[in-house]
C-alpha cells in the first residue's frame, strides 16, 4: 500500500508543528523518521494515521484521499503503535491483542478460529505467548510495548506506523522487533531515536522544526554535515572492517 502526504501543514496556537511536509512511502518500504525531540515526528505519524486531520494538505492511501475514507476502512489498513500507549486495566494480554481484530468484526462476521490463530501468531511474533494470560497492568514497560506491537500486528495492516517502538525495550528485544518489522510485507513508517537503528531502513526522512529537511537512503542522509546541522552533534563515520557496514560514533559538537 502506498502512503503519501501532500503539503501538510499543522498549526496549533499559532505554532507550526508541521510545515509543508510532503512524502511518499512505497508499498513494502520501511521508512524511518528521525529528528530531534519536538521536531514533529509524532505529529506527522498522527496525521498519517488519520488521528489528526490537516486543514492544509492531505494524506493519500493508494491514491485515495484519507478524509474520504471511513474510519473502519482506515482501521482495516493502517495500524499505529503510539509512543505513550494508553493503559488497559484489568485486561489480559491475549484480550489486549485481540482488540486488533475489532475493525474486522461485525454482526455478519463474528469472532472465528481464524482470529484466534492471528492473535496467537502476533503473540508469537513479539515473543509474548508465554504471558498471554497475564493481566496487562502487571507487565513491565517493555512487555507492554511488545503487546501493543502484537495488537497492531493482529490488525494485519497494510501500513504499520510505529512511534519510537523500541524505547522501553532491552537490546535483545529492540533487535528482534526491528528485524520483525523489516521482514513484514507491509509499508512501515517508524520514528526512531537511535540513528544506528535508522541505518537499517530502506529510506529515512529527517524532521527538523516541523519540516522534512532531507529524505533518502541512510547513506545519503546520515552524513556528518546533516547530523551536525540537525542534531548538533559531531559524528565520526567508521567503516566496519568485517562487513564494511557503517559505524557512527557521536560526540558533542562544541
Ligand atoms: N497539542 C499540542 N499543543 C501544543 N504543542 C504541541 C502539541 N502537541 C505537540 N506539540 C509541540 O509540537 C512539537 C512537535 O512535537 P512532536 O510531534 O511530539 O515531536 P517529536 O515526536 O519529534 O518529539 C513540540 O514542540 C511539542 O511540544
Ligand atoms: Mg515523538
Residue 155: closest CA among 219, 207, 105: 105
pLDDT tens-place string over residues 222-247: 999 999 999 999 998 888 888 888 88
**Closest Cα to atom 7 of ligand 1:** 12
Q: Could you tell me the distance, in angstroms and rounded to a whole number, from the CA of residue 45 to the centre of ligand 2? A: 9
Average of pLDDT values for 131-153? 91
Q: Which atom of ligand 1 is nearest to the CA of 83?
A: 21
Q: Which atom of ligand 1 is nearest to the CA of 163?
A: 21
Instruction: Provide the pLDDT for residue 80.
Output: 95
CA distance 198 to 202: 9
CA distance 93 to 72: 24
Q: Could you tell me the distance, in angstroms and rounded to a whole number, from the CA of residue 27 to the centre of ligand 2? A: 24
**Closest Cα to atom 26 of ligand 1:** 38
pLDDT tens-place string over residues 69-121: 999 999 999 999 998 766 667 899 999 999 999 999 998 899 999 999 999 99
Q: Could you tell me the distance, in angstroms and rounded to a whole number, from the CA of residue 192 to the centre of ligand 2? A: 9
Q: Which atom of ligand 1 is nearest to the CA of 45?
A: 17
Residues lining ligand 1, judged by CB closer than 6 Å? Answer: 12-13, 17, 35, 37-43, 207
Average of pLDDT values for 16-36? 97
- Which of the ligands is closest to the CA of residue 163? 2
Q: 145 with 169: CB under 8 angstroms?
A: yes
Q: Is the pLDDT assigned to residue 215 strictly greater than 80? A: yes
Residue 141: band (very low, low, confident or very high) from pLDDT cuts 50, 70, 90: confident
Instruction: Provide the pLDDT for residue 61.
Output: 96
Q: Could you tell me the distance, in angstroms and rounded to a whole number, from the CA of residue 134 to the centre of ligand 2? A: 29
pLDDT tens-place string over residues 159-197: 999 999 988 888 988 988 888 888 888 999 999 988 989
Does pTM surpass 0.85? Answer: yes
Q: To test ligand 1's pocket by mutation, which of 34, 36, 38 has the most ligand atoms within 8 angstroms of CB?
A: 38
Q: To test ligand 1's pocket by mutation, which of 9, 14, 40, 193 has the most ligand atoms within 8 angstroms of CB?
A: 40
Domain ranges of the chain: 3-216, 223-254
Residue 254: band (very low, low, confident or very high) from pLDDT cuts 50, 70, 90: low
Q: Is the pLDDT assigned to residue 3 strictly greater than 70? A: yes
Percentage of residues in the chain having pLDDT higher than 90: 71
Q: Are strands 64-65 and 159-163 parallel, antiparallel or unpaired?
A: unpaired
Coil, strand or helix: which one is 52? coil
Residue 218: band (very low, low, confident or very high) from pLDDT cuts 50, 70, 90: very high
Q: Is the pLDDT assigned to residue 21 strictly greater than 70? A: yes
In sign, the C-alpha dihedral spanning 162, 218, 232, 226 is negative
3-state secondary structure 108-132: CECCCHHHHHHHHHHHHHCCCHHHC
Instruction: Provide the pLDDT for residue 169.
Output: 86
Instruction: Provide the pLDDT for residue 88.
Output: 67
Q: Which superfamily is assigned to 3-216 in CATH?
A: P-loop containing nucleotide triphosphate hydrolases (3.40.50.300)
Amino acid at each position: 500500500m502506498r502512503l503519501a502526504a501532500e503539503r501538510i501543514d499543522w498549526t496549533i496556537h499559532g505554532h507550526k508543528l508541521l510545515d509543508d511536509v510532503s512524502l511518499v512511502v512505497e508499498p513494502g518500504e520501511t521508512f524511518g523518521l528521525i529528528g530531534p525531540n519536538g521536531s514533529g515526528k509524532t505529529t506527522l505519524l498522527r496525521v498519517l494515521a488519520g488521528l489528526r486531520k490537516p486543514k492544509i494538505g492531505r494524506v493519500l492511501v493508494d491514491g485515495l484521499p484519507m478524509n474520504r475514507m471511513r474510519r473502519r476502512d482506515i482501521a482495516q489498513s493502517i495500524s499505529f503503535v503510539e509512543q505513550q500507549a494508553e493503559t488497559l486495566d484489568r485486561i489480559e494480554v491475549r484480550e489486549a491483542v485481540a482488540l486488533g481484530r475489532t475493525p474486522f468484526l461485525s454482526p455478519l462476521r463474528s469472532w472465528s478460529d481464524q482470529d484466534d490463530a492471528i492473535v496467537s501468531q502476533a503473540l508469537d511474533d513479539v515473543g509474548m505467548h508465554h504471558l498471554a494470560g497475564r493481566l496487562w497492568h502487571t507487565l513491565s514497560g517493555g512487555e507492554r510495548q511488545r503487546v501493543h506491537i502484537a495488537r497492531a500486528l493482529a490488525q494485519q495492516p497494510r501500513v504499520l506506523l510505529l512511534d519510537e517502538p523500541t524505547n522501553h525495550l532491552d537490546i535483545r528485544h529492540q533487535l528482534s522487533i526491528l528485524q520483525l518489522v523489516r521482514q513484514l510485507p507491509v509499508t512501515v513508517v517508524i520514528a526512531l531515536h537511535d540513528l544506528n537503528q535508522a541505518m537499517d531502513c530502506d529510506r529515512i526522512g529527517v524532521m527538523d522544526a516541523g519540516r522534512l529537511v532531507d529524505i533518502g537512503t541512510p547513506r545519503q542522509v546520515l552524513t556528518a554535515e546533516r547530523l551536525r546541522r540537525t542534531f548538533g552533534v559531531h559524528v565520526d563515520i567508521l567503516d566496519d572492517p568485517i562487513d564494511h557496514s557503517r559505524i557512527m560514533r557521536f560526540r558533542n559538537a562544541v
